[in-house]
Amino acid sequence: MIAGHAGDIHSVSIIEASEERTRIYFELYLPGSPQALIRDLGELPVVRFVEPVQSLQQIYGKRIIIMGGGAQVGQVAVGAISEADRHNIRGEHISIDTIPLVGEHTLAAAVRAVRQLTRVQALVLAGSLMGGEIEAAVREVRSDGLLVISLNMAGSVPDASDLVITDPVQAGVMAVMAVAETAKFNIARLKRRVF
Protein backbone atom coordinates (compact mmCIF):
# COMPACT_ATOMS: atom_id res chain seq x y z
CA MET A 1 0.00 0.00 0.00
CA ILE A 2 2.81 2.41 0.89
CA ALA A 3 4.69 1.62 -2.33
CA GLY A 4 1.47 2.12 -4.27
CA HIS A 5 1.43 5.71 -2.99
CA ALA A 6 5.13 6.17 -3.97
CA GLY A 7 6.11 6.15 -0.29
CA ASP A 8 9.68 5.61 0.82
CA ILE A 9 10.01 3.92 4.23
CA HIS A 10 12.86 5.44 6.26
CA SER A 11 12.30 3.38 9.42
CA VAL A 12 9.89 0.94 11.02
CA SER A 13 9.47 0.27 14.73
CA ILE A 14 7.18 -2.18 16.46
CA ILE A 15 6.00 -0.19 19.47
CA GLU A 16 3.79 -2.86 21.04
CA ALA A 17 3.16 -6.47 20.09
CA SER A 18 0.57 -8.79 21.61
CA GLU A 19 -1.82 -11.48 20.39
CA GLU A 20 -4.62 -8.95 20.12
CA ARG A 21 -2.81 -6.09 18.41
CA THR A 22 0.47 -4.68 17.22
CA ARG A 23 1.31 -0.98 17.07
CA ILE A 24 3.78 -0.12 14.32
CA TYR A 25 5.48 3.21 13.70
CA PHE A 26 6.49 3.99 10.11
CA GLU A 27 8.65 6.97 9.22
CA LEU A 28 7.93 7.71 5.57
CA TYR A 29 8.69 10.12 2.80
CA LEU A 30 5.66 10.77 0.61
CA PRO A 31 5.83 12.97 -2.50
CA GLY A 32 2.32 14.34 -1.90
CA SER A 33 -0.26 14.70 0.83
CA PRO A 34 -0.46 11.78 3.28
CA GLN A 35 -4.28 11.89 3.48
CA ALA A 36 -4.90 9.39 0.64
CA LEU A 37 -2.44 6.89 2.12
CA ILE A 38 -3.92 7.30 5.60
CA ARG A 39 -7.42 6.65 4.18
CA ASP A 40 -6.29 3.60 2.17
CA LEU A 41 -4.33 2.10 5.08
CA GLY A 42 -7.37 2.57 7.33
CA GLU A 43 -9.50 0.57 4.88
CA LEU A 44 -7.24 -2.50 5.03
CA PRO A 45 -8.89 -5.34 6.99
CA VAL A 46 -5.80 -5.86 9.18
CA VAL A 47 -5.57 -2.18 10.17
CA ARG A 48 -7.65 -0.95 13.09
CA PHE A 49 -6.42 2.62 13.35
CA VAL A 50 -4.05 5.00 11.53
CA GLU A 51 -2.71 8.09 13.26
CA PRO A 52 -0.29 10.54 11.63
CA VAL A 53 2.38 11.83 14.04
CA GLN A 54 5.49 13.98 13.75
CA SER A 55 8.55 12.03 12.71
CA LEU A 56 11.23 11.20 15.26
CA GLN A 57 13.63 13.13 13.01
CA GLN A 58 11.51 16.25 13.49
CA ILE A 59 11.21 15.77 17.25
CA TYR A 60 14.53 14.26 18.34
CA GLY A 61 16.66 15.02 15.29
CA LYS A 62 20.20 13.78 14.92
CA ARG A 63 21.52 11.38 17.54
CA ILE A 64 24.93 11.20 19.13
CA ILE A 65 25.72 7.99 21.01
CA ILE A 66 28.29 8.04 23.83
CA MET A 67 29.54 4.70 25.14
CA GLY A 68 32.32 3.40 27.34
CA GLY A 69 33.32 3.73 30.99
CA GLY A 70 30.74 5.40 33.22
CA ALA A 71 32.80 8.34 34.52
CA GLN A 72 34.12 9.23 31.07
CA VAL A 73 30.69 8.80 29.46
CA GLY A 74 29.24 11.21 32.02
CA GLN A 75 31.87 13.84 31.32
CA VAL A 76 31.45 13.57 27.54
CA ALA A 77 27.69 13.88 28.06
CA VAL A 78 28.18 17.12 30.03
CA GLY A 79 29.91 18.71 27.02
CA ALA A 80 27.55 17.21 24.45
CA ILE A 81 24.35 18.17 26.24
CA SER A 82 25.56 21.70 26.94
CA GLU A 83 26.58 22.21 23.31
CA ALA A 84 23.43 20.57 21.93
CA ASP A 85 21.36 22.98 24.02
CA ARG A 86 23.09 25.95 22.35
CA HIS A 87 22.24 24.61 18.90
CA ASN A 88 18.76 23.35 19.75
CA ILE A 89 17.62 26.79 20.91
CA ARG A 90 18.58 27.99 17.41
CA GLY A 91 16.24 25.45 15.79
CA GLU A 92 18.53 22.42 15.56
CA HIS A 93 17.33 19.04 16.87
CA ILE A 94 20.17 17.00 18.38
CA SER A 95 19.68 14.32 21.04
CA ILE A 96 22.34 12.64 23.15
CA ASP A 97 22.20 8.96 24.16
CA THR A 98 24.59 7.39 26.64
CA ILE A 99 25.38 3.84 27.68
CA PRO A 100 28.12 2.98 30.18
CA LEU A 101 29.63 -0.38 29.15
CA VAL A 102 32.75 -2.35 29.93
CA GLY A 103 34.40 -5.32 28.26
CA GLU A 104 35.89 -5.75 24.82
CA HIS A 105 33.18 -7.96 23.33
CA THR A 106 30.33 -6.03 24.92
CA LEU A 107 31.65 -2.73 23.57
CA ALA A 108 32.43 -4.16 20.13
CA ALA A 109 28.88 -5.52 19.86
CA ALA A 110 27.46 -2.16 20.96
CA VAL A 111 29.58 -0.27 18.40
CA ARG A 112 28.35 -2.56 15.61
CA ALA A 113 24.75 -2.28 16.83
CA VAL A 114 24.84 1.50 16.34
CA ARG A 115 24.25 0.78 12.65
CA GLN A 116 20.82 -0.60 13.58
CA LEU A 117 19.75 2.65 15.24
CA THR A 118 18.05 5.41 13.31
CA ARG A 119 19.26 9.01 13.00
CA VAL A 120 22.73 8.36 14.51
CA GLN A 121 25.26 10.88 13.18
CA ALA A 122 28.20 10.32 15.54
CA LEU A 123 29.59 7.85 18.07
CA VAL A 124 31.86 8.93 20.91
CA LEU A 125 33.96 6.25 22.61
CA ALA A 126 34.77 7.30 26.16
CA GLY A 127 37.14 5.14 28.16
CA SER A 128 40.73 4.64 29.22
CA LEU A 129 41.56 1.44 27.31
CA MET A 130 39.93 0.14 24.11
CA GLY A 131 41.35 -1.96 21.36
CA GLY A 132 41.18 -5.37 19.70
CA GLU A 133 37.66 -6.26 18.61
CA ILE A 134 36.45 -2.74 19.45
CA GLU A 135 38.94 -1.31 16.96
CA ALA A 136 37.66 -3.69 14.27
CA ALA A 137 34.07 -2.61 15.03
CA VAL A 138 35.06 1.08 14.82
CA ARG A 139 36.64 0.54 11.41
CA GLU A 140 33.45 -1.22 10.23
CA VAL A 141 31.07 1.56 11.29
CA ARG A 142 33.39 4.23 9.92
CA SER A 143 33.38 2.47 6.56
CA ASP A 144 29.58 2.90 6.63
CA GLY A 145 30.07 6.66 7.01
CA LEU A 146 29.54 7.03 10.77
CA LEU A 147 31.66 9.70 12.47
CA VAL A 148 33.63 8.17 15.37
CA ILE A 149 35.30 10.32 18.03
CA SER A 150 37.50 8.71 20.66
CA LEU A 151 38.93 9.98 23.89
CA ASN A 152 42.71 9.89 23.93
CA MET A 153 43.20 6.50 25.60
CA ALA A 154 45.42 3.44 25.68
CA GLY A 155 44.74 0.82 23.01
CA SER A 156 44.22 0.96 19.26
CA VAL A 157 40.77 2.60 19.08
CA PRO A 158 42.20 6.14 18.84
CA ASP A 159 44.14 5.09 15.73
CA ALA A 160 40.93 3.83 14.12
CA SER A 161 38.81 6.92 14.95
CA ASP A 162 38.12 10.06 12.92
CA LEU A 163 39.04 12.38 15.77
CA VAL A 164 40.82 11.93 19.12
CA ILE A 165 40.14 14.35 21.96
CA THR A 166 41.93 14.32 25.33
CA ASP A 167 39.36 16.30 27.34
CA PRO A 168 36.04 14.41 27.65
CA VAL A 169 33.91 17.56 27.93
CA GLN A 170 35.54 18.93 24.78
CA ALA A 171 34.92 15.60 23.01
CA GLY A 172 31.20 16.02 23.65
CA VAL A 173 31.25 19.63 22.46
CA MET A 174 33.12 18.75 19.26
CA ALA A 175 30.81 15.80 18.51
CA VAL A 176 27.81 18.14 18.55
CA MET A 177 29.61 20.81 16.55
CA ALA A 178 30.54 18.21 13.93
CA VAL A 179 26.90 17.22 13.28
CA ALA A 180 25.14 20.55 13.85
CA GLU A 181 24.01 22.48 10.81
CA THR A 182 24.09 25.66 12.92
CA ALA A 183 27.88 25.29 13.48
CA LYS A 184 30.67 26.22 11.09
CA PHE A 185 32.94 23.42 12.35
CA ASN A 186 34.00 20.84 9.76
CA ILE A 187 36.20 17.86 10.71
CA ALA A 188 37.40 17.51 7.11
CA ARG A 189 39.07 20.94 7.37
CA LEU A 190 41.15 20.05 10.44
CA LYS A 191 44.88 19.80 9.83
CA ARG A 192 45.31 17.29 12.67
CA ARG A 193 43.11 14.62 14.26
CA VAL A 194 44.39 14.53 17.83
CA PHE A 195 43.61 17.30 20.33
Give the model confidence (pLDDT) of 156-172 as tens digits.
Answer: 999 999 999 999 999 99
Distance, C-alpha 192 to centroid of its chain: 25
Q: Is 114 helix (H, G, I), strand (E, B) or coil?
A: helix
pTM score over 0.85: no
Q: Where are the domains positioned within the chain? A: 3-53, 58-189
User: What confidence tens digit (pLDDT) does each residue in 30-79 have?
Assistant: 898 899 999 999 999 999 999 988 887 777 789 999 999 889 999 999 99
Fold of the CATH domain 58-189: Rossmann fold (3.40.50)
The single-letter code of the amino acid at 61 is G
Q: Could you give the CA distance from residue 8 to residue 10 in angstroms, rounded to a whole number?
A: 6
Please give the pLDDT value at position 80: 96
